[in-house]
Structure 1
C-alpha cells in the first residue's frame, strides 16, 4: 500500500506493471525536484551564514578607510573603502535593499537562517517519505516483473 498526496491509499499489488511504471516515474520526478529544492535551500542557508560571518568578522573599526574590493556581481569587483562600520546595506529580497545597523542585520540573517533551517528540515522529511514510497513501488514492480517472466516462460521455472 502506498499513500498519495491526498491521503488516499493505493493497493500497489492491484496495479498493472504499466501503471506501476507510471507511478515509479512520477515518484522519481517528484524526488528529483524535491532534492533540487532541498539543495537550493541549503545553498540559501549557506549564503545567509556567509553574510552573517561577513557582518561579524568583516566590519570592524580596524577596516575603516582601508582599501577593499566591493563585489558588484559574482565575478566583478571594484575598489572601495568602508566608510561606516556601524551600518550595512542588507538585501531583503527581490532586489530591495535596506540600511540596518550591525545588530539589526545580524538579527535579520539569524532569523533567515532559522527560517530556512525549518524549511530544510520539513523538506528533508518529505524527501525521505517520497523516497520510501519509491522504494516500495520499485520492489512491487520488480516482484511483478519476475512473476510475469516466470509465468510467460514455464521452461525457465522448471530449470
Structure 2
C-alpha cells in the first residue's frame, strides 16, 4: 500500500517489545536492504555516467565532422574503425535492442532527460537508504540496551 505521496508506508514496530533474536533478524534484513540499495545506486551511477558521456560526445559532433574517421564501439571494450557519414543525425540506443534516429539536438535532449531521470531515482534511493540506516541504528541501540540489561541481570544473579 502506498501513501498519497507515492512513498511506501512503513509498518511501525515497537523495538523495545522485540527480543534480541528478533532484533538481530530485523538488523540482518535491514543490512540486506541497505546492500541492495548500495548496489542499485552503483548501477544507476554507472548508467548516469554512460548517459553523460554520450551527451558529451554529441557536443563534439559538428557539421564539419562529416567524413571524419572515428572508432565505433561495438561493446564496452571492442571498437571498429568507421567514418561519420551523417553529422546531422545519430542513432541512439534506447534500451532492450531498440534504436532511434535523432537529430543532434534531439539526441542531446534525450540524454539530458535520461540523466535527470536517473539522478532523481538515485536521490529517491538515497533517501530511503538513509531512513533504513536510521532504523538500523535504532535497532542496534535497542539491542545494546537489552544486552546490557541482560548482563546486569546475570551479574546480579551471580552476586546473590
Question: Does 2:41 correspond to 1:38?
Answer: yes
What CA distance in whole angstroms lies between the structure 2 residues aligned with 1:121 and 1:65?
42
Q: Which TM-score applies when normalising by structure 1?
A: 0.88
CA gap 1:102/1:18 in 2 versus in 1, 3 angstroms: same
Alignment partner of 1:26 out of 4, 13, 29: 29
Structure-2 residue corresponding to 1:141: 143
C-alpha RMSD over aligned residues? 1.7
What CA distance in whole angstroms lies between the structure 1 residues aligned with 2:29 and 2:155?
30
CA contact (8 A) 1:150 1:156 kept: no
Question: Does 2:54 correspond to 1:54?
Answer: no
Q: State the shift of 1:24 in Å.
A: 0.4
- Structure 2 gap segments, 5+ residues each: 1-7
Alignment partner of 1:11 out of 1, 11, 14: 14
**Which consecutive segments of 4 or more residues in structure 1 shift more than 4 A?**
none
- Structure 1 gap segments, 5+ residues each: none
What CA distance in whole angstroms lies between the structure 1 residues aligned with 2:130 and 2:143?
20
Deviates more, 1:127-136 or 1:140-149: 140-149
